[in-house]
Amino acid sequence: MAKIGIVGAAGYTGGELLRILVNHPDVHLTCIMSNSQAGKLVSDVHTDLLGSTNARFSADLSPVDVLFLCSGHGESKKFLAANEIPWHTKIVDLSTDFRDESEGFVYGLAEFQKSKIQSATKIANPGCFATSIELALLPLAQAGLLKSDVHVSAVTGSTGAGQSLSNTSHFSWRNNNVSIYKAFTHQHLTEIGMVLGAKSPAPKVNFIPYRGNFSRGIMANVYTAYTGTQEEAIELYENYYQDSPFVFVSPKDVDVKQVVNTNKCFLHLEVYDGQVLISSVIDNLIKGASGQAVQNMNLMLGWPETAGLGLKAIGF
């Protein structure tokens, strides 16, 4: 049994990690950190975990085999600078701090560089929008077929903004509403460019993010120039993802509820008039964050990639 620590365990991604890991067959949660909730029962904050764990939040770091960093962006660097982490402790950071693969971190998109993750000790978990868009485009990028600008229109649920309240996360503003934000400038464009440019020059990605009036999930609709047939596109994607246990090519239109509460990504392709449209749906908190973090942990520890991630979609 691997000893697990979570820093920032009271937030959305920390809570999702707890929900997954309390049922993981090979781990033991020994260090659940939150400065704001120290001493409280985990189930007093994440009330759905009543009956699943009697653990309490702690303000102190104890020795663990794997440490997940779930604090806000910029906080991971501060935490690692202030705390001496043993060399053998594996780290998975869910912030943006190391997604440029600085300081020995490896970018943790298994469908992009699984073997590199397997030999890593420090993982930078991808962003949620980045995950959905990269999975939509990786087969084209790896085949050298991204030769024109890419256009992305993507919508995310309110949990994508984190737990801290802001004017645009209040229910009264978000409900029955939709808006764009950070058009053409979203922070995930940097890592998207890094991944898409790994084999050939990265295309320009024109990204329009939307705030949706729902809690969780991402739909990214991505299109670019393409000269092949629909059958060729589907074959390209199915071949690329044949050894990826969480990515599936759907013959039908996809929707967010198919993947919410799972670590899956569903892709649907349509070729029309010299362009290919790829619709990509994921759960922003699971495949876009905590589930992908557990997937990376499994790979680093040499366990089955799917361990603890046999999650059920909500369906309705």
- Residues annotated catalytic, as ranges: 128
Q: Is 144 within 8 Å of 246 (Cβ atoms)?
A: no
The two tokens of residue 293 are 């973090």
Residue 191 belongs to what H/E stretch? Answer: helix 189-196
Beta pairing partners, 69: 7, 93
The two tokens of residue 51 are 């009956």
Nearest to 32, CA basis, from 46, 24, 23: 46
Q: d(Cα 133, Cα 117) in Å, to the nearest integer? A: 20
- Which parts of the chain are beta strand (E)? 2-7, 27-33, 66-69, 90-93, 106-107, 122-124, 150-156, 179-180, 205-211, 218-225, 247-249, 265-272, 275-282
- DSSP-based helix, strand, coil % in the chain, nearest 5: 30, 25, 45
Nearest to 19, CA basis, from 221, 273, 304, 289: 289
Amino acid at residue number 1? M
Instruction: Write the CB contacts of 167 (distance below 8 Å, at least 6 apart in sequence).
Output: 173
